[in-house]
A and B are shown apart, each in its own frame.
Chain A
Amino acid sequence: MSKKQIEVTGKKDTRSGFGEGLLELGKKNESVVALCADLTGSLKMNAFQDNFPDRFFQIGIAEANMMGIAAGMTIGGKIPFTGTFANFSTGRVYDQIRQSIAYSGKNVKICASHAGVTLGEDGATHQILEDIGMMKMLPNMTVIVPADFNQTKAATMAIADHEGPVYLRFGRPSVPIFTPADKPFVIGKADVIFEGADVTIIACGHLVWKAIEAAQALEEKGIDAEVINMHTIKPLDEDAILKSVRKTGCVVTAEEHMINGGLGDAVAQVLARHMPSPQEYVGVNDTFGESGTPDALMEKYQIDTKDVIAAAERVLKRK
């Protein structure tokens, strides 16, 4: 009997979790306002817009202005949620976020969809793979990358209660839902999905499901993998990392992001300081993406289930 069982309750895109969470927030918190730069449908912000037209601000294709307006709206007590693609939420407006939001300490929630290669056919211009790195380097910034629909919805609601700027990253493709709908989202507290003794797999976003599949495949090969959903990249749950790696002695990190600057880097820093351990990285290796289906891209850019399995086997040999 397999120990690596998890209940899957459906399949949906994480951006829809954001849309539902935002709608719920609109109902329970009058201070919440939403801003969008001409991608309301893509961000699933229509429901909020329809229900709370006075608290929805269509900014147009002007992301820099959107970040500034959001920052200004906090003065007087609003909690602005900005919505656009991850590329336009970060790289395009880094200095606006840096000065007007992070350095100014403004309570803005930067909500970013279509992150990574799974944006798909639009290609590399839109497939940002550097955003986690950019955002986690900013002082005052909290960085959250939820794994499925339920978790994205819960995270969207949780960040409204957190005072300070937040980067919330989610995506376009439909992925299995395995987080219980009633599970509260705790910023900075990792979820252990499977316990295991041989190798720790730490993943975020779409790679959490891949890590789950990898752990199930590894089990058939007699390898007992622990899987951690590191939904908060900053502040990072160092205790969860150390507790697990103390037990397993090695780690695989997995993310839909550049290896350089992402979750893996953050985990490596913790281990280097406290418990140097063999680590293998699953991520995109210093290259831009391209057009294709999400599945084809994950396979080609080596961020698929097979890559997590291979990384686990490699790291086990280094123990």
Chain B
Amino acid sequence: MDKKDMKAFASQVRRDIVRMVSAVNSGHPGGSLGCTDFFSVLYNKIMDHDPKNFSMDGKGQDIFFLSNGHISPVWYSTLARSGYFPVSELSTFRKINSRLQGHPSTDKKLEGIRAASGSLGQGLSMAIGTALTKKLNGEQNLVYVLMGDGELQEGQVWEAAMYASANKVDNLIATIDYNGRQIDGDVEDVLSLGNLAQKWQAFGWEVLEMNGHDYDDLENTLEKAKNLTGEGKPIIILMRTEMGQGVDYMVGSHKWHGVAPNAEQLQLALDQLEETLGDY
């Protein structure tokens, strides 16, 4: 898919996100909008995956884990728009009997999801496990995981970070949604992460940085990360994003982390986002 189509895909995903959360007056639009461009590039250009042949084992395919499960709207929309499940199902988000739980789950067999997430800090460990299995199985495919920056305050992340480099888990590409915000405010104020690049370097990781809204940078950096696999080091990308990207009144504020727009606010948002693939 070319850059123009990936941007059009992202515009539709952003429309889906704000409509989904507004419809149920709950959910997490801020981080979802901030990661939309990343998801568009990852699913449309970077990952080796087959939406029509989803299996839990994922043999012969790249695997993606969403560790910061609260940004489920962007994942659900990306999966549906990629063909994993019907787009119409997005209308069931967070409603009773839906496969689209508030946070991702596997028990309702939603295609594209292999692990529950939401309680933070657990995705990197799972990604390492799957990466180890791929090595045992002799598979060349890669494992991807996305984490939030606030999530890095969880200790398990650093247990996993230590393990991956010590054991040369080099078929793994982690990305941090480095937007600097969390529920209670700026990450810097809540609990500073200090020098994040140096922390990961000290833990033995190959550290890359990219702008999560620049399509050239996204594509080039992710391709570079792929080229760095198999070299004995796990790879992490610090991805600078703006929470709420694409909706002017949400951009750059932690206030829209977990708050849904009302009907009027929704219309304001939709006016800024082109309907490219048809609303669900």
- Same complex for A and B? Answer yes
CB distance from B188 to the nearest CB of A (A): 26
Tell me whether B152 is interfacial, beta carbon within 8 Å: no
Chain A residues with Cβ below 8 Å from B46 are: none
Chain B residues with Cβ below 8 Å from A54 are: 136
CB distance from B138 to the nearest CB of A (A): 11
Q: Mark A40-72, 1 if CB is under 8 A from B, else 0.
A: 000000000000001101011010111111111
Nearest to A57 among chain B residues (CB) is B132
B133, A73: Cβ atoms under 8 Å?
yes
Tell me whether B87 is interfacial, beta carbon within 8 Å: no
B119, A68: Cβ atoms under 8 Å?
no
Chain A residues with Cβ below 8 Å from B162 are: 60, 62
Q: Mark B117-144, 1 if CB is under 8 A from A, else 0.
A: 1110111111111111110110100000
Nearest to A63 among chain B residues (CB) is B159
CB distance from A34 to the nearest CB of B (A): 12
Stretch from B34-42, B57-65, B193-201, B227-235 contacting the other chain: B57-65
Contact A62:B163 (CB < 8 A) given known A76-B58, A99-B116: yes
B130, A76: Cβ atoms under 8 Å?
yes
A100, B125: Cβ atoms under 8 Å?
yes
CB distance from B157 to the nearest CB of A (A): 9
Q: Among the listed B58, B63, B129, B137, which residue makes an inter-chain contact with A68, where contact means beta carbons less than 8 Å apart?
A: B129
Q: Among the listed B58, B107, B136, B155, which residue makes an inter-chain contact with A64, where contact means beta carbons less than 8 Å apart?
A: B155
Chain B residues with Cβ below 8 Å from A59 are: 163
Tell me whether B160 is interfacial, beta carbon within 8 Å: yes
B125, A67: Cβ atoms under 8 Å?
yes
B57, A76: Cβ atoms under 8 Å?
yes
Tell me whether B105 is interfacial, beta carbon within 8 Å: yes
A99, B114: Cβ atoms under 8 Å?
no
Nearest to B156 among chain A residues (CB) is A64
CB distance from B241 to the nearest CB of A (A): 25
B156, A75: Cβ atoms under 8 Å?
no
A99 to B117, CA, bound (A): 7
Chain A residues with Cβ below 8 Å from B125 are: 64-69, 71-72, 96, 100
A72, B127: Cβ atoms under 8 Å?
yes
Chain A residues with Cβ below 8 Å from B1 are: none
A78 to B159, CA, bound (A): 22
A68, B133: Cβ atoms under 8 Å?
no
Q: For the side of the interface on A, what is the size category?
A: 20 to 34
CB distance from B112 to the nearest CB of A (A): 13
Q: Mark A14-51, 1 if CB is under 8 A from B, else 0.
A: 00000000000000000001000000000000000000
A85-106 at interface with B (beta carbon < 8 Å):
95-96, 98-100, 103-106
B105, A78: Cβ atoms under 8 Å?
no
The count of chain B contact residues (Cβ–Cβ below 8 Å) is 39
Contact A78:B119 (CB < 8 A) given known A65-B156, A69-B125, A96-B156: no
A65 to B164, CA, bound (A): 10
A103, B129: Cβ atoms under 8 Å?
no
Nearest to A71 among chain B residues (CB) is B126
A70 to B160, CA, bound (A): 12
Chain B residues with Cβ below 8 Å from A95 are: 119, 122
Q: Among the listed B57, B122, B159, which residue makes an inter-chain contact with A100, where contact means beta carbons less than 8 Å apart?
A: B122
CB distance from B73 to the nearest CB of A (A): 19
Contact A103:B105 (CB < 8 A) given known A59-B163, A69-B125, A69-B163: yes
B57, A72: Cβ atoms under 8 Å?
no
CB distance from B118 to the nearest CB of A (A): 7
CB distance from A284 to the nearest CB of B (A): 30
CB distance from A61 to the nearest CB of B (A): 9
- Interface-centre pick from A55, A69, A73 (highest chain B CB count, 10 A): A69
A99 to B57, CA, bound (A): 18
Chain B residues with Cβ below 8 Å from A67 are: 125
Chain A residues with Cβ below 8 Å from B57 are: 75-77
A105 to B160, CA, bound (A): 21
CB distance from A55 to the nearest CB of B (A): 7
A69, B126: Cβ atoms under 8 Å?
yes
CB distance from B191 to the nearest CB of A (A): 19
- Interface-centre pick from B119, B122, B128, B166 (highest chain A CB count, 10 A): B122
Q: Mark B173-188, 1 if CB is under 8 A from A, else 0.
A: 0000000000000000
Nearest to A108 among chain B residues (CB) is B129
Instruction: Offer 14 A-B interface pairs, CB within 8 angstroms, sorted by A.
Output: A54-B136, A59-B163, A60-B162, A62-B162, A64-B121, A71-B125, A72-B125, A72-B133, A73-B129, A74-B129, A74-B133, A95-B122, A96-B122, A104-B106
5 further contact pairs, Cβ within 8 A, besides A68-B128, A80-B129: A69-B128, A75-B57, A75-B58, A77-B133, A104-B106
List the 10 shortest-distance A-B pairs measured between CB atoms, nearest first: A72-B129, A68-B125, A72-B126, A76-B133, A62-B159, A65-B159, A69-B129, A73-B129, A72-B130, A64-B156
